[in-house]
Chain A
Amino acid sequence: MDPVTGNAAGAPHQGAPAGAVPDLGALLKRSARGDEAAFAELYDATAARAHGLVLRVVRDRAQAEEVTQEVFLEVWRQSGRYDADRGSALAWLMTIAHRKAVDRVRSAEAATRRDVTYEETNRSVAHDETAEAAHASLEARRVRAALAHLTDVQREAIELAYFGGYTHTEVAALLDLPVGTAKTRIRDGLIRLRDSIGVGR
């Protein structure tokens, strides 16, 4: 992997719990006013997390880096649209990151169908279980504990959708579920996850 960069600039250590990062909502608000320093701080606090997710979904390192760049340009552009009443700044940012990553894998896939071959890169990131991939922070322990409450099918469905970028219909096919049931497994699993982590309303 790449040499770890950015820590010299005071980035929080990898795996820092959400509570240790600066007030992301406030940084977004300042970014919306054109405050580049605030945005740099936001970047340093969230880039590793967003990039970890993007890389997991996109798998190809070079493409993931492009997507992460797009994500943060988009975050800057949309910063004034973040509404604290509708959720946390981190979730908002991760939603943008995930959406861009999924768009990238799906458009790459569409291109593959047209172009004859698509060289499979060997740069895929480890495909380990979510629980194992989770880092040893308090938050990660909570997530891990919460994941243990899911049924295998719920967990697999969520992982295939979230990290694999598959649609619920594709997830159903991958898991040999009747069409239309994967979305229910995903929803039930997420609700259980939400309730046991204790986020949201």
Chain B
Amino acid sequence: MTDHDLHALSGAYALDALDDDERARFEAHLADCAGCREEVASLGEAAALLGTEPVEPPAAVRDAVLSGIRSIRPLPPITSEPAAEPVDDLAARRTRRSLVQRIAGTPLIAAAAVVLLLAVGTAWLRPWTEDPTPPPATAVEQVLRAADATRVDKEFPDGSRATVVLSRSLGGAVIQTEDMAPAPQGKVYELWLQRPDGAMVPAGLMPDDPDAELRLEGDATHAKAVGITIEPDGGSELPTTTPIAVLDLAT
């Protein structure tokens, strides 16, 4: 895609009308194109006014929000220019970490490029109303709400986290990340389910969304761990890089 084509996506981006792939490319472009940054901001102002009839949410929403925030620490302001560090350098540093370290579950991520921040809410994992007729659950919700759902949090030294929710009865796993830096240009985050014999099975690609939540593809009934690697666009059949994170499901 040429730069010219990318500029033309500013309006669709401002309306969230790009697919995941285009969004990733456009966001990479945004980092380098002040014109598009400016345009997206101003078109976002216009879009915000398109808003529709205001509708007061029920008081239960307000209660849930105001009690929910008590367990959430607001992120600190960004104090320096973001994400200027070259990714190759980070990749190199990651590779220098020993395998033993990784397996031992010590911090896998020091790199700002791959910050997995606290997946906000345990509150999100539970239906917060006693509505007797809940809406049909999405594939994600089915896992989140499963009676045997278990959570695995990964906390990193900088306070960031990724969360995997697993329901063995459904054979499903959901991953939630927040504020995840975009994958390097031309690359994608790929998810893996690790079989009991250690083999890594492709489980889908992360959308290029800092606040991702998705159900992993494949059967997680016997999965031992969930891994994330950086792969060329389109993903790989087998991991070609060392995982940037492994969440152990065994515990």
Contact = CB atoms under 8 A, between A and B. Distances in A.
B56 A5 contact: yes
A91 interface: yes
B231 to A, nearest CB: 21
A27 interface: no
A187 B11 contact: yes
A114 to B, nearest CB: 6
Interface in A154-197: 158, 161-163, 165-169, 171, 182-184, 186-191, 193-194, 197
B16 A34 contact: no
B56 A47 contact: yes
Chain A contact residues: over half helix, strand or loop, or mixed? Answer: helix
Interface string B14-43: 111111001000000000000000110111
Among B48, B52, B72, B73, residue most surrounded by chain A Cβ atoms (within 10 Å) = B52
Interface string A1-17: 11011110001001100
B139 A48 contact: no
A80 B10 CA distance: 25
B46 A52 contact: no
B61 interface: yes
A149 interface: no
Contacts of B12: 161, 167-168, 182-183, 186-187
B74 A34 contact: yes
Interface residues of B, number: 70
Nearest to B131: A62
A199 B55 contact: no
Interface hub of B8, B54, B213 (most chain A Cβ within 10 A): B54
Interface in B59-75: 59-62, 64-66, 68-70, 72-75
A9 to B, nearest CB: 8
Contacts of B209: 103
Contacts of A183: 8-9, 11-12, 17
Interface of B: 8-12, 14-19, 22, 38-39, 41-62, 64-66, 68-70, 72-78, 118, 120-121, 123-124, 127-129, 131, 134-140, 178, 209, 211, 213-214
Given A77-B72, A161-B15, A161-B16, 20 more contacts: A2-B56, A5-B58, A48-B56, A52-B53, A52-B55, A60-B135, A62-B134, A69-B64, A69-B65, A70-B121, A72-B69, A73-B69, A73-B120, A73-B124, A94-B51, A98-B47, A107-B214, A111-B138, A130-B50, A187-B9
